[in-house]
Amino acid sequence: MESSSVDEKKDTIKEPLLKSSPRGGVRTMPFIIANGMLERVASFGLTPNMTLYLMRQYHMEMTAASNVLFYWSAATNFLPILGAIIADSYVGRFHMIGFGSVVSLLGMILLWLTTMIPQATPPPCIESNNSCDSTTSFQLLLLFTSFALISTGAGGIRSSSLAFGADQLEKGDGCESVGVSGRYLSWYYASYTFSVLIALTCMVYIQENMGWQFGFGVSVVVMLFAALSFFLATPFYVKVKAKASLLTEPIKVIVSSYKNSSLKLNSTNMFLQKNGSALVFPSEKMRFLNKACIIRDPQKDLTADGRAKDPWSLCTVDQVEDLKAILKVIPIWSTGMVTFINISQNSFSILQASSMNRRITGNFEIPAGSFGIFAVSSLILWVALYDQVLLPLASRIKGKPVYVNARQRMGTGIFLSSLCMIVTAAVEYIRRTLAIKQGVSDDPEAMVDMSALWLLPQYCLMGLAEGLNAIAQNEFYISEFPRSMSSMASNLSGAGMSVASLLASFLMNSIDDLTKKGGQGSWISTNINKGHYDYYFCVLAGLSMVNMLYFLICCWAYGPCRAEEGKASDEQV
């Protein structure tokens, strides 16, 4: 009897997703996860060695190649935000992911063709007199178009993949969906980590040992499977219709507060309350925005059901407070940009690794682009140890629950990123000194007799800095923003990365121009042995220390977080 009742329970759990629901459910999860994972393998596998590809095949200077990668990174981080807005407001998530899969595949095919068609790249340099033909406008157009298509495709897929998977679970039985959604999120983020590991190892190794043609061709094949995996399950997907964009809500508040700027704030003001909301009065911070929700004349301003007749002249208290939450977070959000600037210096670290001894055993040599695996590994190790080992151990020692809040972890991440730049500068100083002593400073392709394993501390510190700062940023935004703005909160760090890439480009170009004045050699020379990358990293370290002070000031000005305010009110009660 007991076994039969257990079987009946199993059947009742499985039934809604498998039979009563013609669309959605767990059967669609493998296709969605595979699409996102394979897209990241294909695209992340291109970036580590791209600096070397641009310098060797397109004869670009180090600064020019880095600028291209900074702009590419800025576009790739910003377009998912734009994609999320378009998907939610106009086309829907299914069409956005499908569009992104096709466009990304076209971009990778175009990039692969630059390795297959001789006319797509300039001819090799003549070694006897070290003369190189410059890249033509058509060749650059072909290259940049492929980058633009890959970024656009990534924006389409990454903006909607996670939410689209969640849509599939909402059509099943409620009890089953709760359990499955947790497993889906775990598998989704596990696939993300796995895709990065594959990209930094297998994909980079193929490019390094089998050439650009075969390496970029593998990315095309992987992206083809990503697109096929998504479209194969088309008949089974739940396709939620697009809704109004949340971006218009903050704009309405700004417009309404401007229109009502002549009104005076006093104790007799009536404010428009959202139906079912606990917010009756706006907060005292940024009071000028409170004018957006003042009711002048209830008969003229409100409909019969209590809503605003003109939403561009009168907003609810909730809308005003949502905008205040965004504006209040911006100073702390800006502090993360310097950390992201430090993280985006991968091209320089790859140039370091390519000039050092990367041989581990007699026959195996670590590709220069694969050293990023140490940063990813330290990030994964930190996430695992923090929740499972460090916090329980600290709680046991103190005899009470220990928790490090988001802002404390963000600050620690900023400190570690500045320490990383100091270590990077020190290692580069040693490497450059050895290059001069060994008489290879004039040869940019020469290998210095110094183990590339000296780079491990800086990669591990960068992984820890990202694990602390970036993850804490997302947690901070989501906890501080209202639930209605959770999608915007989850995309804020991506916007920060995009702006940071542009700032990194501006900073690098400024340092390059300043150090070249007076006929002196640039700190950021294409020949790493002739430049002064150690000085460049010292500038970044100094900037990070100033940013640390700025972060402390922003935290002081911000005041207590929502969770801290909740604890304080509970203690008072």
Task: Indicate whether 224 pLDDT > 90.
Answer: yes
Q: Are residues 254 and 360 in the same domain?
A: no
Q: Which domain holds residue 456?
A: 319-558
- CA distances 268 to 181, 288, 317, Å, are 48, 16, 16
Note whether 544 and 415 are same-domain residues: yes
- Binning pLDDT at 50, 70 and 90, where does residue 542 land? very high
Position 128 in a domain: no
Q: Are 441 and 426 in contact (CB under 8 A)?
A: no
Cα atoms in the 13 Å half-sphere on the side-chain side of 193: 17
Spatial distance between the Cα atoms of 343 and 345, rounded to a whole number of angstroms = 6
Q: Are residues 298 and 423 in the same domain?
A: no
**Does residue 1 fall inside a structural domain?**
no
Same domain, residue pair 160 and 87: yes
Confidence of residue 6 (pLDDT cuts 50, 70, 90): very low
> What is the token pair recorded at 32?
């969605």
Q: Kindly state the average pLDDT of the residues 77-98.
A: 87
Write out the DSSP string of 185-226. HHHHHHHHHHHHHHIIIIIHHHHHHHHHHHHHHHHHHHHHHH
Q: How far is CA 269 from CA 264, 275, 315, in A?
A: 9, 19, 14
| In-domain check, residue 71 | yes
Most trustworthy range by pLDDT among 91-105, 303-317, 377-391, 471-485? 91-105
The three-class DSSP label of residue 153 is helix
Strand partners, 448: 356
**Do both 37 and 96 map to the same domain?**
yes
* Angstrom distance (rounded) from CA 249 to CA 241: 20
What's the pLDDT score for residue 486? Answer: 64
Q: Is the pLDDT of residue 11 over 90?
A: no
In three-state secondary structure terms, 308 is strand
Residue 58 lies in a domain: yes
Domain end residue (candidates: 245, 273, 303): 245
When pLDDT is averaged across residues 488-493 and rounded to a whole number, the result is 74
**pLDDT band, residue 140 (cuts 50/70/90):** very high
* pLDDT (0 to 100) of residue 440: 85
Q: Is residue 567 part of a domain?
A: no
Longest dimension (CA), the chain: 91
Structure tokens at 398: 């103190």
In a domain, 563, yes or no: no
In DSSP terms, which residues pair with 359 in a beta bridge?
365
Q: Which of 350, 373, 343, 371 is nearest to 55 (CA)?
A: 350
DSSP calls for 133-176: PPPPHHHHHHHHHHHHHHHHHHHHHHHHHHHHHHHHHTTS-HHH
Same domain, 226 and 105: yes
Residues 6+ apart with CB under 8 A from 534: 425, 426, 428, 429, 432
Question: Quick one: 371 and 489 in the same domain?
Answer: yes
- Distance, in Å, from the CA atom of 281 to the CA atom of 265, rounded to the nearest integer, reads 12
Q: Last residue of some domain: 226, 245, 264?
A: 245
150 and 81 in a common domain: yes
Q: Is residue 16 part of a domain?
A: no
Q: Are residues 253 and 156 in the same domain?
A: no
Of 71-85, 176-190, 462-476, the one with minimum mean pLDDT is 176-190
* pLDDT, position 188: 76
Tens of pLDDT, residues 308-340? 888 888 888 888 888 888 888 899 999 999 999
CATH number at residue 116: 1.20.1250.20
Pair 305, 380 in one domain: no
Helix axes 29-44, 174-198, angle to 10 degrees: 20
Query: Of 315, 343, 364, at which residue does a domain stop?
Result: 315
CB 469 within 8 A of CB 414: yes
Asked if pLDDT for residue 284 goes beyond 50, the answer is yes
Of 139-153, 224-238, 343-357, 480-494, least confident by mean pLDDT is 480-494
Q: Is the dihedral of CA 562, 417, 371, 67 positive or negative?
A: positive
Regarding whether 359 and 292 lie in a shared domain, the answer is no
| Neighbouring-strand partners of residue 159 | none
Considering the domain architecture, whether residues 162 and 251 belong to the same structural domain is answered as no
Residue 521 lies in a domain: yes
pTM beyond cutoff 0.95: no
Q: Do 448 and 356 meet the contact criterion of CB atoms below 8 Å apart?
A: yes
Number of domains in the chain: 3
> CA 360, CA 354: separation in Å to the nearest integer?
14
What single string gives the DSSP state of each residue in 404-429?
--HHHHHHHHHHHHHHHHHHHHHHHH
Contact 511, 533 (CB under 8 A): no
Kindly report, residue by residue over 397-456, the tens digit of the pLDDT: 888 887 788 899 999 999 999 999 999 999 999 999 999 999 888 887 888 989 999 999
